[in-house]
Amino acid sequence: MNNTNRGRLLVVSGPSGIGKGTVCKELLRRCSDLLLSISCTTRPMRPGDEEGVTYFFKTEEEFERMVQAGEFLEYAGMYGKRYGTPRAFVEKNLLEGRDVILEIETQGALQVIQRAKEDVTSVFLLPPSMRELHKRLVERSTETPEKARLRFESAYREIEYAEQYDFVIINDQLEETVEALRAILIASHYGAGRALDHMHALKEEQVL
């Protein structure tokens, strides 16, 4: 089985407020072949949301049916709402050789890393400082101060997960972060494990 032509699943995670969305949007703009995986959620639509663009919006019942039918690559609960990654979109595109990016919170990311290990390249974004993360969370928050505080406290725990990722980027300057991500995506196509079949084929090839 030759897997060198399979696409890569780029998992980008990090604590709330780190700027995952901005980073991924800019990466998608620069990598025209890269596809964004759209998650399902049970949270209500907010201003700026668009069905099938920011999320697929589901009722609790619809979401639960998808869980039971095994249609999620991962799913998780966050602050009472559920989020999940539809499996079919990811699998179809990887199989057809296209790269997929998954912008995802830390709980779901670890599930994907464990379940799709061979296909995944995982990147964790860290803030330059907690003070900076606090600023971003409070300033950018579309939620109540109480919710922003909960997210900030949770960030201290989430940061520990960084060790379980392949790569870690300190998201200070957008330009550096996006170029690092792009390099990581390109490099991920050349992991030694992906060339084993070619290596074996070479050894069988008689020339002289």
Applying CB under 8 A, which residues contact a second copy?
Answer: 123-124, 126-127, 129-131, 134, 149, 152, 156, 159-160, 162-170, 179-180, 182-192, 194-196, 198-199, 202-203, 205-208
Using CA atoms of 54, 128, 111, 97 in order, give the dihedral in degrees to the nearest 10. Answer: 60
Residues 125, 159: Cα–Cα separation, whole Å: 9
Q: Using only C-alpha atoms, what is the Rg of the chain?
A: 19
For residue 40, list its beta bridge partners: 56, 84
Amino acid at 164: Q
First to last CA, the chain: 27
Q: Taking the complex as a whole, how short is the minimal distance between the CB of residue 178 and a second copy, in angstroms? A: 12
**Cβ nearer to a second copy, comparing 66 with 123:** 123
**Cβ nearer to a second copy, comparing 1 with 207:** 207
**Cβ nearer to a second copy, comparing 66 with 104:** 104
Q: Taking the complex as a whole, how short is the minimal distance between the CB of residue 191 and a second copy, in angstroms? A: 6
Any idea which residue has 């979401």 for tokens? 63
Query: CB neighbours of 57 closer than 8 A, spacing ≥ 6?
Result: 40, 41, 42, 43, 44, 45, 49, 51
DSSP state of 18: S
Strand 72-78's sheet: what is its strand order? 56-57, 40-41, 81-86, 72-78
Q: Taking the complex as a whole, how short is the minimal distance between the CB of residue 5 and a second copy, in angstroms? A: 12
**Cβ nearer to a second copy, comparing 102 with 184:** 184
Q: Taking the complex as a whole, how short is the minimal distance between the CB of residue 185 and a second copy, in angstroms? A: 8
Q: Taking the complex as a whole, how short is the minimal distance between the CB of residue 45 and a second copy, in angstroms? A: 31
**Cβ nearer to a second copy, comparing 52 with 193:** 193
Q: Taking the complex as a whole, how short is the minimal distance between the CB of residue 159 and a second copy, in angstroms? A: 6
**Cβ nearer to a second copy, comparing 59 with 206:** 206
